[in-house]
Amino acid sequence: MGAQDSEARHPARTRERPVDEVSGTLRLGGREFPAGSPVVMAIVNRTPDSFYDKGATFAPDKALSAVDRAVAEGAEIIDVGGVKAGPGDEVTAAQEIERTVGFVARVKEAYPQVVVSIDTWRAEVAVEAVAAGADLINDTWSGADPALAEVAARTGAGLVCSHAGGLTPRTRLHRAAFDDVVADVVARVTELAERAERLGVRPDGILIDPAHDFGKNTRHSLEVTRRLDELVATGRPVLVALSNKDFVGETLDLPVDRRLPGTLGATAISAWHGARVFRAHQVAETKQVLDMVAAIRGDRQPAVSRRGLA
């Protein structure tokens, strides 16, 4: 395919700039994350029915142990969620607050240097969580509650702007179709990020997330991964949530408990393209992949250097 054909097929690529020209320092809470330093966001679900761990961290003591382990393994953000993303039993805002807000406070007290994220689409939950110590609002449902960005603006919290393909929270797609899925993602997350800035959210606290699987079939999620550099070229820090998702399972025809190698492959590609934050269940393995990619890119030195020096 010639250059002109490629640009016609993927017009957003004509706007790309080198990663080091567009990715600045990300500031969340009291932390600063410079470009070239990928960050692991550990998933801790306060739900009894999460798709991956089936409620393994629903109990407070189990959840705190998971946080201890994640921090020890190198996570710098802890993402606390109180509602399963997919369809299931109804969880009211009051129930979500009960599951998450007190736990956010306990995590922040135990690890004040760690960024705490609240995974919610509800403004009323975000208000309580930020007051309890959350530094970041992870809105995986693409602004379903417009007031969520207002909470971030009013409190100084960071905000994740995502693409859900027009779905409402906790619904599944049916025959999703896009003329160009990446162009659609870029347009939506840019719209949300610009609105957030107009409301007063700090530009250096805004991330964009293509939201793999949300409103997308497997081929869409693969294309988003393949062309993730187009999101990076917007100049916004990119968060990816790849961990053990269905697009990995369908690509390799594997159940959820056997998707780690595929997840890490997608992680490496996303890191090479310039993604900044990686939401993950398996922190240690994800951190090793990110360190290796950073070393290959030249952003990180090897941990030791002995070979050929003796």
How far apart are the C-alpha atoms of 12 and 32, rounded to whole Å?
29
How far apart are the C-alpha atoms of 141 and 189, rounded to whole Å?
11
Whether 219 is catalytic: no
Q: Which of 46, 99, 108, 245 is catalytic?
A: 245
- Quote the radius of gyration of the chain (alpha carbons, Å): 19
Q: Which of 236, 276, 279, 287 is catalytic?
A: 279
Q: Phi, psi (5° rounding) for residue 272?
A: -60, -35
The Cβ-side half-sphere exposure at 107, using a 13 Å CA radius, reads: 38
| 39 within 8 A of 77, measured Cβ to Cβ | yes
Compute CA distances 22 → 16, 223, 229, 299, whole Å. Answer: 9, 22, 11, 16
How far apart are the C-alpha atoms of 249 and 51, rounded to whole Å?
13
Report the Cα 134 to chain-centroid distance in Å: 15
Whether 154 is catalytic: no
How far apart are the C-alpha atoms of 120 and 97, rounded to whole Å?
10
Judging by beta carbons within 10 Å of its beta carbon (0-12, 13-18, 19+), is residue 55 exposed, middle or buried? middle
Of 280, 289, 291, 248, whose CA–CA distance to 70 is shortest? 280
Judging by beta carbons within 10 Å of its beta carbon (0-12, 13-18, 19+), is residue 116 exposed, middle or buried? buried
How far apart are the C-alpha atoms of 279 and 275, rounded to whole Å?
11
What residues act catalytically?
A: 245, 279
